[in-house]
Amino acid sequence: MKRIFLLLIVLLVGLYPVALHAQAEPEDIASASDAFQESFFESLKQKAIENYDKAIESLEKCLKLEPDNAVVLSELGKNYLHLKRYREAYDAYEKATKLEPKNRWYLAGMYDVTYETQDYNNSIVLVQRLIPFEESYKEDLASLYMKTGQFDKALVVINELNETVGHSDKRDLYKADILKDSKYQGSEKDNLIAQIKKNPKEESNYISLIYLYSNSNQEEKAQEIARQLEKEIPTSDWAQVSLFKFHLNNNDGDKAVVSMNQALKSTKVDNKVKQRMINEFLIFTKNNPKYDADLEKAIGYVSDDKSVNAAKEIAKFYQNKKDWIKAAKYYEIDAANHPDDIETTVLLLQAYTENKQFDVLAKKADNLIELFPLQPELYYFSGLAHNQLKEFKKAKETLETGIDYLVDNRDLEINFNIQLGEAYNGLGDAKKKEQYFLKADQLLKKKK
């Protein structure tokens, strides 16, 4: 919120003559003038060193000499405000304003008081009086309407400012909050339609309207606006976002691919939208496998973007198809972008296992154990890999360490015991081998 304080105005007493009786002697006039000047400058000095009580004492002396001096009253208001004596500050500023109604600085002082005391309804009244002096106070008005829950009025002011001075991040956030409530969306749709007619080359209005229609399940209208946007601004990447969904709904994969690729390459389209598009195309591809290659190409556009988690969904897609080589490829991409995602890590190790990439599996699992020493799954995959590589001693040591970290995971406990049995079998310890295989069998029976 803008804080406007009165500029320091030092006025010599000659500008503020003392009201004198006709019979006053010249020396009386000089004496009164000197007393006023001395007290006024003393108040400024005391205020400068933050001695506000002393400043007020000096100003009160000035008021005895000139009760209707607006500058003195304004200075009193400032000092009272510093001391948080809000009622007295407001009264002083109000008296100054009544004496000089066209002086906006005195009004601004009243506004400062009401804002500090969170008397926002009175702040609104004062800001409305300040706007004729300074248009920028409309920014304050929008914020005050938000604070007092007058969202319909806030929306009117925000739209006016967007049109006259351009958008701001703060106002855009206000507007987004307002439009979460559907009761304000109707008027905003009307406003955006009017703005599009007025300026058909302004892309942001189309985008906002498309979002409003989509969020209120008016997909046909959203597509209509998207086509209008594409016609008016053929280079618009955002038009392709909506047209992509339209093409998917019409089962037109070829056109959907064209729209998707343009949007994914764009720096204007935000990452959450890209994530959603890839997920929607993934679902489409499950029923239309001929677009698998296009799906892979799509992930390529965002594979280096850590904020987009599409690679994981693609990997799961290939995992469900038992295409473990491609699943591993995309799990690797996601693991690189999200190294703390244990789920991705475990799924990647599973893919290596299915691909029989035991050298890779052993190295990867051992490295991960150093980073995440409390994750039992990592010890299991390490033990499995070393067993397959006939490194039975290493497998045994790893598995015996990892099993201690198991908590309420029967499936993993069964697998640990099987791998421990394999390790002891490789080491030639038949007794231990049977012990662990028997325990795994007992756990299996309990599971049933």
CA 54, 57, 62: angle at the middle one, nearest 5?
130
pLDDT tens-place string over residues 55-108: 999 999 999 999 999 999 999 999 999 999 999 999 999 999 999 999 999 999
Question: How far apart (Å, rounded) are the C-alpha atoms in residues 424 and 368?
Answer: 24
Q: So what's the pLDDT on residue 10?
A: 36
As a whole number of Å, the CA-based R_g of the chain is 37
Q: Could you give the CA distance from residue 389 to residue 362 in angstroms, rounded to a whole number?
A: 9
pLDDT of res. 14:
35
Close Cβ partners of 266 (under 8 Å, ≥ 6 residues apart)? 237, 240
CATH of the domain spanning 356-448, picked from 1.50.10.10, 1.25.40.10, 2.60.40.10, 3.40.50.2000:
1.25.40.10
Using a cut of 0.75, tell me whether the model's pTM lies above it.
no
Round to whole Å and give the CA distance between 402 and 43. Answer: 77
Confidence of residue 280 (pLDDT cuts 50, 70, 90): confident
- Domain locations in the chain? 1-134, 236-306, 356-448
- What does the angle CA 99 – CA 100 – CA 103 come to, to the nearest 5 degrees? 150
Chain centroid to Cα 126, Å, comes to 32
Asked if the model's pLDDT at residue 26 lies above 50, the reply is: no
347 or 292, higher pLDDT: 347
Average predicted confidence (pLDDT) for the chain = 86
Confidence label for 255 from pLDDT (cuts 50, 70 and 90)? very high
Select the more confidently predicted residue: 219 or 88.
Answer: 88
Q: 1-134 — its CATH code? A: 1.25.40.10
Q: Which residue type is seen at 439? A: K
Angstrom distance (rounded) from CA 123 to CA 74: 18
Structure tokens at 309: 């988690």
For range 378-383, the mean pLDDT: 94
Provide the pLDDT for residue 109: 96
Of 442 and 79, the one with more pLDDT: 79
Query: Per-residue pLDDT for 338 more than 90?
Result: no
Tokens of 399: 């598995």
pLDDT at residue 270 in the model: 76
Tell me what pLDDT residue 27 has.
44
Tracing tokens 């000095």 back to the chain, one arrives at 45
Q: How much is the pLDDT for 29?
A: 40
Answer whether 87's CB lies under 8 Å from 110's CB.
Answer: no
Which of 222-231, 271-280, 307-316, 431-440 bottoms out in mean pLDDT, i.e. has the lowest? 307-316
pLDDT level of residue 337 (50, 70, 90 thresholds): confident
Distance in angstroms (rounded) separating the CA atoms of residues 317 and 118: 55
* pLDDT average, residue stretch 414-442: 91
CA distance 66 to 157: 42
Mean pLDDT of 289-300: 84
Cα end-to-end span (Å), the chain: 66
What is the spatial distance between Cα 296 and Cα 395, in angstroms, rounded to a whole number? 36
Q: Do domains 1-134 and 356-448 have the same CATH topology?
A: yes
CA distance 285 to 316: 13
Alpha helices in 83-133 (DSSP H): 86-99, 104-116, 120-130
Instruction: Sort 111 into a burial class: Cβ within 10 Å, 0-12 / 13-18 / 19+.
Output: buried
Count of helices and strands (H, E) across the chain:
24, 0
Q: Above pLDDT 90, what percent of the chain?
A: 50
Whether pLDDT at 248 is above 50: yes
Distance CA 447, CA 383 (A): 23
pLDDT at 35 over 70: yes
